[in-house]
Structure 1
Amino acid sequence: MQSMTRSGAGLANNRVPARSTSLTVENIAIHVTDQGAGVPTLLLHGIFDSADTWSGVTERLQANFRCLVPDLPGFGRSGEPADFDCSLPHLAQFIDNLIGALGIDQPINLIGYDIGATYGLAWAVTHPAKVRNIAILNANFFSDYKWHSFARLWRIPVVGELAMAMITEANFARAMVSSAPQIPPEKAREAARLVTPAAKRMALRHYRALDSAVFHGWEDQLRDLTSHKPTIVCWGDQDPAIPPSFAERFGAQTVRHFPTNSHWLPLEAPALLAEYLEAFFREAA
Structure 2
Amino acid sequence: MKKLLKFLGISILGTIGIILILLIIFYKSDIPIEENQEKYFTEESQYIEINSNKLHIRQMGEGFPLLLIHGSFSSLHTWQSWQKNLAQDFRTISVDLPGHGLTGPNPEAQYNTDYYAHLLWKLMKKLNYDSIAIAGNSMGGQVAYKMALLEPEKVKKLILLNSSGARIANDTAKFKDQNNFSVFSLINHPVFSKLMTSITPKFLFKMSLEQVYYDKSKITEDKIQMYYDLMLHEGNRTATLKRFSQRAPSEFEKLAKIKIPSLIMWGEYDSWIPVEHAYRFDSILPNSTLKIYPNAGHVPMEEIPEETAKDAVEFLKATEN
TM range (shorter): 0.7 to 0.9
Which residue is equivalent to 1:12? none
Which residue is equivalent to 2:151? 127
- Equivalent-residue separation in structure 1 for 2:108 and 2:189 (angstroms): 19
Q: CA RMSD in A?
A: 2.4
Match of 1:138 among 159, 162, 165: 162
Matches within 5 A, 1:1-285: 19-105=44-130, 107-142=131-166, 144=168, 147=174, 148=176, 150-151=183-184, 153-163=186-196, 165-177=198-210, 179-180=212-213, 181-185=216-220, 186-196=222-232, 198-210=235-247, 214-215=249-250, 218-225=251-258, 228-251=259-282, 252=285, 253-284=288-319
Compare CA radii of gyration and give the structure with the larger one: 2
Checking the alignment, whether the CA contact within 8 Å between 1:41 and 1:109 is kept in structure 2 is: yes
Would the alpha carbon gap of residues 182 and 233 (structure 1) be closer, same or farther in structure 2, given more than 3 Å must change?
A: farther
| Cα drift, residue 18 of structure 1 | 6.2
| Cα drift, residue 118 of structure 1 | 2.2
Would the alpha carbon gap of residues 244 and 262 (structure 1) be closer, same or farther in structure 2, given more than 3 Å must change?
A: same
Checking the alignment, whether the CA contact within 8 Å between 1:42 and 1:110 is kept in structure 2 is: yes
Identity of paired residues, percent?
A: 23
| Cα drift, residue 42 of structure 1 | 0.2
- Equivalent-residue separation in structure 1 for 2:185 and 2:56 (angstroms): 30
Name the SS of the counterpart of 1:42 in structure 2: strand
Amino acid at match of 1:90: Y
Unaligned runs of 5+ in 2: 1-41
Q: Could you tell which deviates more after superposition, 60-69 or 189-198?
A: 189-198
| Cα drift, residue 204 of structure 1 | 2.1
- Equivalent-residue separation in structure 1 for 2:211 and 2:104 (angstroms): 31
| Cα drift, residue 80 of structure 1 | 1.4
Q: Could you tell which deviates more after superposition, 22-31 or 191-200?
A: 191-200
TM-score under structure 2 length normalisation: 0.74
Amino acid at match of 1:193: D
Would the alpha carbon gap of residues 201 and 284 (structure 1) be closer, same or farther in structure 2, given more than 3 Å must change?
A: farther
Amino acid at match of 1:24: E
Checking the alignment, whether the CA contact within 8 Å between 1:110 and 1:120 is kept in structure 2 is: yes
How big is each residue's C-alpha offset from its partner over 1:223-244, in whole Å with a ceiling of 9 and x where there is no partner? 321xx21101111122211110
| Cα drift, residue 190 of structure 1 | 2.6
Amino acid at match of 2:311: Y
Would the alpha carbon gap of residues 171 and 159 (structure 1) be closer, same or farther in structure 2, given more than 3 Å must change?
A: closer
Name the SS of the counterpart of 2:108 in structure 1: coil
Q: Could you tell which deviates more after superposition, 130-139 or 253-262?
A: 253-262
| Cα drift, residue 178 of structure 1 | 5.7
Checking the alignment, whether the CA contact within 8 Å between 1:44 and 1:111 is kept in structure 2 is: yes
How big is each residue's C-alpha offset from its partner over 1:36-87, in whole Å with a ceiling of 9 and x where there is no partner? 0111100011122221211111100110000011111121111311333334
Q: Could you tell which deviates more after superposition, 148-157 or 189-198?
A: 148-157
Would the alpha carbon gap of residues 283 and 45 (structure 1) be closer, same or farther in structure 2, given more than 3 Å must change?
A: same
- Equivalent-residue separation in structure 1 for 2:154 and 2:316 (angstroms): 16
Checking the alignment, whether the CA contact within 8 Å between 1:154 and 1:164 is kept in structure 2 is: no
What count of residue pairs does the alignment treat as equivalent? 262
